[in-house]
């Protein structure tokens, strides 16, 4: 189920980059929003591609769950 958290974060990251204020970034102001958004979408695609087997197991209901029992 950790992969579910990773995939959720990967999907939310591009959405959250849309709300970054220009004063928080180092890049020039005309490129800031679009540059971060493009990089975040690429990163999200890479994360989701790397988790494709976990996503398949999540959809099948066979993904391992975290257990704190010994």
CA separation for the pair 8, 53 (Å, rounded): 15
Q: Degrees (nearest 5) of the Cα angle 25, 7, 56?
A: 155
Q: Is 69 left (phi over 0), alpha (psi -120 to 50) or beta?
A: beta
Q: Tally the C-alpha atoms within 13 A of residue 67's C-alpha that lie toward its C-beta.
A: 5
Give the residue extent of every domain in the chain: 2-60
Coil vs helix vs strand at 31: coil
Q: What is the pLDDT of residues 8-42, one digit of tens each?
A: 999 999 888 887 765 555 555 555 567 778 888 99
Which pTM was predicted?
0.70
């Amino acid at each position: 189920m950790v992969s579910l958290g990773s995939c959720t974060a990967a999907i939310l990251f591009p959405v959250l980059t849309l709300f970054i204020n220009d004063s928080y970034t180092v890049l020039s102001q005309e490129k800031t929003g679009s540059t971060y958004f493009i990089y975040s979408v690429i990163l999200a695609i890479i994360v989701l591609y790397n988790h494709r087997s976990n996503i398949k197991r999540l959809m099948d209901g066979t993904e391992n769950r975290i257990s704190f029992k010994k």
